[in-house]
């Protein structure tokens, strides 16, 4: 009999048939993990992409195979055009538990549920992963940026009743904490303590967008595409109605600016004055203003206008905010926590303004201006004004 | 108008206060928990505001709940001040300690069953805690309760007659654009308030009610213990195997400092007080920016 838990299921997100970047990134990491897994354990477990949509699926299914999936299971229905947590959770859980589907691509003699499951850590995936794993009654780690599969020796008061036990094929899920300096490894483990015995699978996580690299698109890859006809309980599952759906663009516009000036906790000596300096610098070079995550938690009390303009989640650059890649990125008083770097490392030229040469940002910038913000920016502004090009740099 | 009142509940959390002067960091940049004060989490405050909106606009009865040791009472008190809660529930038991999100959701579900005989129409929670930052507990509690989960809600209203909620949700589609969705769902629902949620009180009668309830909230919060019920595992009727560490599928295996990445760039160091050097920086910046124009 085969293992009760097999394969890695990746829940795909797309907008009108175009995959979100995080979906391809997850497939890339899933491919790498399962290639290593199958070699190490001489097995042939699959990367299974799970896709919900309405009439857009067949082309997308093929793409998902080109980007690393072995199998694509798609549920195609007008009811699944846009994401609704309730019905999506039901359908994904049905798919995860379906032996009939698994029978089409592997031996199902023991199959109960997937071994691993990935979701995107974004507006949709964060909630969807939570409800799906509540339904499947297993563990979930959020905002992961590193994954390893290992056989681990575990000794745990509750899980193993203090005994040392071997947990094979365990997914180590690494998540950076709010400071960006600590990494916590989360494991989802069966309770083997006889008093509370219980199996917890799939081992699931949500993955930070922009962290993993997709595999190179390979149109010669082959895979299996499976059509799943979802079952709805009309009364219960379809009661949420989408009345209107509007595409909006944030007032904060990182994409159409060539430069971004961001500030972090380093403004703390004179927060109000320093934010004004940052804004002035941004204006001079027609840049958008960004912030690091701690700033959005409003660590300083400053005048309401500046607070509500700048210290807001919309401006956060990093894994908890936006990913940007301007020509010029100026990091003012930003220490360079990993979660911020992940959001700006693709920038063309990076300048840091910081008094502390030991700050991690120094290894992430092309030019490190050593000095206090309140001293450096006024001088830099003067020099920029002296050299201001006669033809304005257009946005 | 139906005579049936609206019952709402809000879940809050006591969190480290990340504001300057209150937060303390260790030399290695990690949070010094012993030295850092605790407050009602900012997202919990937003959820409380969303519940208060139901009180002002629909005269809803409001209950606030949290799980934690007795110190977590202060989160309930601070939330009461924001939403004029009629009752405060602290779910407190040693066996709840160490719970992951699924095991926490089990306790919170039991907590809802203790509010108005379980007849709660809307449950509110914050977007995520500012320390744990998973954002999973809300939706998992909703699922266990069998409530429709509505996430990222920036605005909502209730039609008391048809018992329908209309809400706007903000969805960020990374790599594409943002979407504002207007949806309708029958009660009961579980709403997780988006960080950008703001309550608006447009009519004179709403503003009058607002003033009245704010005053009441202040008086109540001063005597919050009068409204406080502390419930342990037994009183909540939870299965001890499904809460705390035994009920948590996940464990924290290890915590380590994130190793310093290889330097991805080689920085030229400039003295920020040296005008000549800054003149070169300015020139370089313009070069970089103009490079784009040629492209």
Assess whether pLDDT exceeds 60 at residue B3. no
CA R_g for chain B: 23
Assess whether pLDDT exceeds 50 at residue B184. yes
Strand-pair category, B164-172 with B178-186: antiparallel
Assess whether pLDDT exceeds 70 at residue B63. yes
Model pLDDT, residue B1: 42
Tokens of A41: 């354990």
Strand-pair category, A18-19 with A14-15: antiparallel
The burial class, CB within 10 Å (0-12 / 13-18 / 19+), for B166 is middle
CB of A126 within 8 Å of any CB in chain B?
yes
Q: Are A172 and A147 in contact (CB under 8 A)?
A: yes
Mean pLDDT to the nearest integer, B74-102 = 97
Edge to edge, the sheet with strand B250-257 lists: A146-155, A164-176, A182-188, B250-257
Which span out of A312-321, A385-394, B136-145, B284-293 was modeled with the highest average pLDDT? B136-145
Q: Is B219 helix (H, G, I), strand (E, B) or coil?
A: helix
B13 alpha-carbon distance from chain centroid: 7
**Per-residue pLDDT reduced to its tens digit, A337-388:** 888 988 899 899 999 999 999 999 999 999 999 999 999 999 999 999 999 8
Nearest CA in chain B to A324: B175
**Per-residue pLDDT reduced to its tens digit, A222-263:** 999 999 999 898 888 889 999 999 998 777 888 888 999 999
Mean pLDDT to the nearest integer, A261-285 = 94
pTM: 0.88
Assess whether pLDDT exceeds 90 at residue B33. no
Assess whether pLDDT exceeds 80 at residue B218. yes
Which residues in chain A are closer than 8 Å to B257, comparing Cβ atoms? Answer: 181-183
A329 alpha-carbon distance from chain centroid: 22
Q: Are A47 and A8 in contact (CB under 8 A)?
A: yes
- Render B38-101 in DSSP notation, one character per residue: EEE-HHHHHHHHHHHHHHHHH--EEEEEEESSGGGHHHHHHHHHHH--SEEEEE--GGGTT--H
Q: Are A280 and A381 in contact (CB under 8 A)?
A: yes
* Cβ distance of B250 and A376 shorter than 8 Å: no
CB of A41 within 8 Å of any CB in chain B?
no
CA distances from A392 to A284, A326, B159 (A): 10, 18, 54
Which residues in chain A are closer than 8 Å to B174, comparing Cβ atoms? Answer: 20-22, 120, 122, 209-210, 323
Model pLDDT, residue B274: 92
What are the residues facing B16 on neighbouring strands? B38
* Cβ distance of A131 and B266 shorter than 8 Å: no
Assess whether pLDDT exceeds 70 at residue B293. no
Closest CA to B225 of B71, B88, B93: B88
Chains A and B form CB pairs within 8 A to the count of 318
CB of A229 within 8 Å of any CB in chain B?
no
* Cβ distance of B182 and A248 shorter than 8 Å: no
Model pLDDT, residue A178: 72
Assess whether pLDDT exceeds 80 at residue A124. yes
Tokens of A286: 């027609």
CB of B254 within 8 Å of any CB in chain A?
yes
**Per-residue pLDDT reduced to its tens digit, A65-123:** 999 999 999 999 999 999 999 999 999 999 999 999 999 999 888 899 999 999 999 99
The burial class, CB within 10 Å (0-12 / 13-18 / 19+), for B269 is middle
Grade residue B28 by pLDDT with cuts at 50, 70 and 90.
low
Share of chain B above pLDDT 70, in %: 96
Across the interface, which of B105, B271, B292 has its CB nearest the CB of A134? B105
CB of B164 within 8 Å of any CB in chain A?
no
Q: Are A181 and B30 in contact (CB under 8 A)?
A: yes
For residues B115 and B113, what is the distance between their CA atoms, to the nearest angstrom? 6
């Amino acid at each position: 009999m085969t293992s009760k838990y097999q394969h890695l299921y990746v829940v795909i997100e797309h907008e009108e048939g175009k995959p979100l970047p995080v979906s391809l990134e997850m497939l890339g990491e899933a491919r790498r993990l399962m290639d290593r897994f199958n070699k190490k354990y001489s097995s042939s477990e699959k990367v299974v992409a799970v896709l919900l949509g309405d009439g857009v699926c067949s082309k997308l299914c093929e793409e998902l195979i080109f980007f690393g999936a072995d199998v694509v299971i798609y549920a195609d229905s007008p009811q699944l055009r846009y994401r609704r947590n309730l019905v999506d959770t039901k359908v994904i859980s049905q798919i995860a538990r379906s032996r009939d589907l698994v029978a089409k691509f592997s031996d199902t003699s023991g199959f109960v549920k997937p071994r691993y499951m990935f979701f995107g850590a974004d507006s949709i995936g964060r909630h969807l992963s939570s409800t799906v794993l509540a339904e499947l009654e297993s563990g979930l780690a959020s905002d992961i940026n590193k994954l390893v599969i290992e056989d681990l020796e575990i000794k745990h008061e509750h899980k193993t009743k203090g005994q040392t036990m071997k947990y094979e094929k365990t997914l180590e899920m690494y998540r950076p904490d709010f400071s960006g300096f600590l990494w916590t490894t989360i494991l989802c483990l069966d309770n083997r303590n006889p008093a509370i015995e219980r199996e917890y699978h799939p081992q699931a996580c949500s993955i930070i967008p922009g962290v993993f690299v997709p595999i190179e698109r390979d149109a010669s890859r082959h895979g299996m595409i499976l059509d799943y006809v979802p079952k709805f309980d009309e009364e219960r599952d379809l009661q949420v109605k989408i009345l209107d759906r509007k595409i909006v663009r944030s007032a904060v516009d990182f994409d159409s600016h060539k430069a971004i000036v961001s500030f972090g906790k380093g403004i703390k000596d004179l927060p109000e004055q320093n934010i004004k300096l940052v804004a002035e610098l941004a204006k001079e070079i027609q840049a958008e203003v960004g912030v690091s995550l701690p700033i959005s938690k409003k660590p300083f009390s400053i005048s309401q206008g500046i607070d509500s303009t700048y210290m807001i989640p919309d401006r956060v650059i990093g894994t908890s905010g936006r990913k940007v890649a301007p020509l010029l990125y100026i990091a003012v008083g930003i220490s360079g926590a990993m979660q911020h770097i992940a959001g700006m490392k693709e920038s063309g030229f990076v300048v840091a303004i910081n008094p502390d040469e030991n700050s991690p940002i120094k290894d992430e910038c092309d030019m490190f201006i050593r000095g206090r913000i309140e001293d450096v920016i006024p001088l830099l502004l003067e020099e920029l004004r002296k050299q201001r090009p006669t033809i304005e740099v257009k946005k | 108008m139906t005579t049936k009142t609206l019952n709402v509940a809000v879940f809050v959390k006591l969190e480290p206060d990340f504001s300057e002067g209150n937060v303390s960091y260790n030399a290695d940049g990690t949070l010094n928990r012993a030295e850092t004060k605790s407050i009602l989490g900012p997202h919990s405050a937003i959820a409380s505001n969303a519940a208060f909106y139901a009180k002002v606009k629909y005269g809803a009865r409001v209950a606030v709940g949290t799980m934690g040791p007795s110190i977590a009472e202060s989160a309930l008190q601070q939330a009461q001040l924001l939403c004029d809660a009629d009752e405060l529930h602290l779910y407190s038991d040693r066996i709840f300690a160490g719970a992951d999100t699924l095991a926490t959701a089990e306790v919170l579900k039991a907590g809802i069953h203790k509010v108005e005989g379980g007849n709660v129409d809307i449950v509110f929670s914050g977007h995520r805690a500012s320390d744990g930052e998973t954002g999973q507990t809300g939706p998992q509690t909703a699922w266990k309760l069998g409530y429709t989960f509505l996430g990222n809600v920036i605005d909502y209203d209730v039609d008391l007659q048809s018992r329908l909620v209309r809400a706007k949700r903000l969805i960020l589609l990374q790599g594409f654009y943002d979407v504002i969705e207007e949806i309708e769902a029958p009660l009961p629902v579980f709403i997780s308030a988006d960080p950008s949620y703001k309550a608006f009180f447009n009519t004179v009668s709403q503003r009058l009610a607002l003033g009245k309830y704010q005053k009441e909230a202040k008086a109540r919060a001063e005597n919050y213990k009068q409204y406080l019920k502390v419930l342990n595992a037994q009183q909540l009727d939870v299965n001890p195997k499904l809460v705390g560490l035994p009920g948590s599928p996940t464990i924290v295996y290890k915590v380590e400092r994130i190793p310093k990445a290889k330097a991805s760039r080689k920085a030229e160091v400039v003295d920020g007080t040296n005008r000549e050097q800054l003149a070169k920086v300015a020139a370089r910046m313009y070069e970089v920016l103009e490079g784009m124009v040629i492209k």
